[in-house]
A and B are shown apart, each in its own frame.
Chain A
Amino acid sequence: MTADARDALPDHLPALRAFAISLCGDVATADDLVQDTIIKAWTNIDKFQAGTNMRAWLFTILRNTFFSMKRKRKREVADPDGVHAAKLYERPAHDGRLAFSDFHRAFCALSPEHREVLILAGASGFSYEDVAQMTGVAVGTVKSRVNRARARLCELLDLRPGEDPISGADADTRAVLAASGTQAA
């Protein structure tokens, strides 16, 4: 028995739980998901290949558990683009700044599929190849999902690519500044 591999489980708990919270949007559901994941990992440790990325393995168990749980809930309509979730969402009133609270609300209004790919490929630092393996899709699919998720975020935040929420100056002014070699920020 490779009891050693399981000794590493506590080290991955904070990351695993952070992923669960980002995916679920609420801590109670996230904690149940983490608990299921720990039990599955514990009892299936013989399926873990020593020397491979344990965090990726645990994240994979967690996201598979999450999505199969969602599928089992028949009443819940599949909403991969977050159309339904966005209906409950109110766009932020912009004062030219991208506030984190607005960003967080927009993030929570995304579909779980979009939240997942943004957290995995963006925030938690996995490569597109890792994410492809973890989510069971092609690398190209991961890339296009990331792009769609980011575009959706901009849409929810009422930002168009090319609009800079930090600076009050419009794009043409900044283009002139950039051309003259002046750094705006």
Chain B
Amino acid sequence: MKQGGDSAKLQAQIDENLKRVYQEALDEHIPDRFKELLEQLRRKESKQ
């Protein structure tokens, strides 16, 4: 069985790459449409 340390190293690399997948998505610029949407929701409510 070629396991143990190498497997742990591979798993650590997978973790690192997964974090990067998430981090790159996290670094994306948030479009203004969401800020506008929240403002719109708030305005709609204050009218009621």
Binding site for B on A (CB under 8 A): 9-10, 13-15, 17-19, 21-22, 27, 31, 34-35, 38-39, 42, 98, 100, 103-104, 107, 118-119, 122-124, 150, 153-154, 159, 161-166, 171-172, 174-175, 178, 185
Question: B9 interface residue, CB < 8 Å from A?
Answer: yes
- Say whether chain B's binding surface is mostly helix, strand, loop, or mixed: helix
- Say whether chain A's binding surface is mostly helix, strand, loop, or mixed: helix
Residue with the highest number of chain A CB atoms closer than 10 Å, among B14, B20, B26, B38: B14
CB pair B35–A10 under 8 Å, yes or no, is yes
Interface residues on B, range: 20 to 34
CB pair B41–A42 under 8 Å, yes or no, is yes
CB pair B18–A31 under 8 Å, yes or no, is no
Complex Cα distance, B32 from A31, in Å, reads 11
Question: B47 interface residue, CB < 8 Å from A?
Answer: no
CB pair B6–A13 under 8 Å, yes or no, is no
State the Cβ distance, B15 to closest chain A Cβ, in Å.
6
State the Cβ distance, A82 to closest chain B Cβ, in Å.
15
B11: A residues at CB distance < 8 A: 150, 161
CB pair A100–B17 under 8 Å, yes or no, is yes
